[in-house]
Structure 1
Amino acid sequence: MSLEARLQAASSDYQKLQADLSSSVEARQRLDAQLSENELEFSTLTPNNIVFKLVGPVLVKQDQAEAKSNVDKRLEFIGGEIKRIEAQLQEIEQKSEKKKLELVELQTELQQSQKQDGSGGPAVPI
């Protein structure tokens, strides 16, 4: 594979990693929003408050302890998803950094080969 083709492939891989990184960051932000929303859901609740659950188009009265249990399970699930996304973000960042270094090396190699070939572009008068 030619140097230019390798550079093009590495550049394409790097762009894909950046897109993956961006989408993972968006997923992490959505999970943070869900976490905050669910944590706030019961923060101001007193024992006298009545809790309703939306079932289809109808609000049904629900036991407060059961509702809290459901929200706690949801918080646990969201926490697990956040950990998974964080690990994914770290992995993508590491891959991206490696690919970035590879791109720099390939660009340097290409520039050096062009200088040796004398095809470094037109000479610019000073």
Structure 2
Amino acid sequence: MEDLSKQYTKLQAELTELVRARQKLETQFQENKIVKQEFDTLDDDAKIYKLVGPVLLPQDNAEANLNVDKRIEFISSDIKRVEEKIQQRQQDLSKLQGVIMSAQSA
């Protein structure tokens, strides 16, 4: 019974970490969407700068748009992956909860 309890606690901790990771990814996703919206309002000849270390370097408009699009795509795939893990952990917790209840009633 003690092992089941430890396993349940471990799964809960994993689920909590996955939810935190999901929230962090969602924040990054929203930030990049805002950047994309800003880029969409710019003229094609607008100057865009990229912060590299302590220096602002000029960046091509098309390249900057492409980078943001790739980041959004990458973050979206990470969100999907983390959501699948969250669902799996929730299923694992549910199954383990059933096992614990059965063990307690026996």
TM bucket (normalised to shorter chain) is over 0.9
Aligned to 1:13: 7
Larger Rg: 1
How far is the alpha carbon of 1:56 from its aligned partner? 2.0
Amino acid at match of 2:94: E
Q: How many residues align?
A: 103
Q: Deviations over 1:52-107 (max 9, x none)?
A: 01122110111111000001111111011011101100110010000000110111
Matches within 5 A, 1:58-73: 58-73=55-70
Q: TM-score, normalized by length of structure 1?
A: 0.78
Q: Deviations over 1:5-62 (max 9, x none)?
A: xx11111100100000000000000000000000101313311532101122110111
Amino acid at match of 2:105: T
Amino acid at match of 1:44: E
Identity percentage over the alignment? 42
What is the CA–CA distance in structure 2 between the aligned matches of 1:88 and 1:56, rounded to whole Å? 34
Aligned to 1:74: 71
Amino acid at match of 1:66: E
Aligned to 1:32: 26
Does the 8 Å CA contact 2:29/2:72 hold for their aligned counterparts? yes
- Report SS of the residue matched to 1:43: helix
Stretches of structure 1 that go unaligned for 5 or more consecutive residues are 1-6, 110-126
Q: TM-score, normalized by length of structure 2?
A: 0.93
Stretches of structure 2 that go unaligned for 5 or more consecutive residues are none
Does the 8 Å CA contact 2:36/2:69 hold for their aligned counterparts? no
Higher helix share: 2
Aligned to 1:87: 84
Please, what is the CA RMSD of the aligned residues?
1.0
